[in-house]
Amino acid sequence: GIRIDFPLRRKDIADIAGTTLHTASRILAGWERRGLLVSHNQHLMLPAPKELGRIAEGIAA
């Protein structure tokens, strides 16, 4: 997986993605439920980056 080893708040992610905090939080929570994202103390781990890539490309939902 990929580990993001610097503090990254959901607000930062929303700003980068050009969306609202509410939308970013909802999507990230869904990814956490599916095991695609692990967050702890504003640090992130992406255990399945290829699956997230497929989601980004619209291959999986």
Ramachandran quadrant class, 48 (left: phi over 0; alpha: psi -120 to 50; beta: rest): beta
Residue 42 resides in a domain: yes
The count of structural domains within the chain is: 1
CATH code assigned at 25: 1.10.10.10
- Whole-number Å distance between alpha carbons of 37 and 32: 5
Residue 61 has pLDDT above 60, yes or no: no
Residue 8 resides in a domain: yes
Residue 27 is part of which domain span?
A: 2-56
Residue 61 resides in a domain: no
Q: What is each CA distance from 29 to 19, 56, 58, in whole angstroms?
A: 15, 16, 19
Mean pLDDT of 36-60: 89
Residue 13 resides in a domain: yes
- Between these two residues, 58 and 47, which has the higher pLDDT value? 47
Residue 14 resides in a domain: yes
Residue 19 resides in a domain: yes
- Whole-number Å distance between alpha carbons of 51 and 56: 9
**What are the pLDDT digits (tens) for 11-32?**
999 999 999 999 999 999 999 9
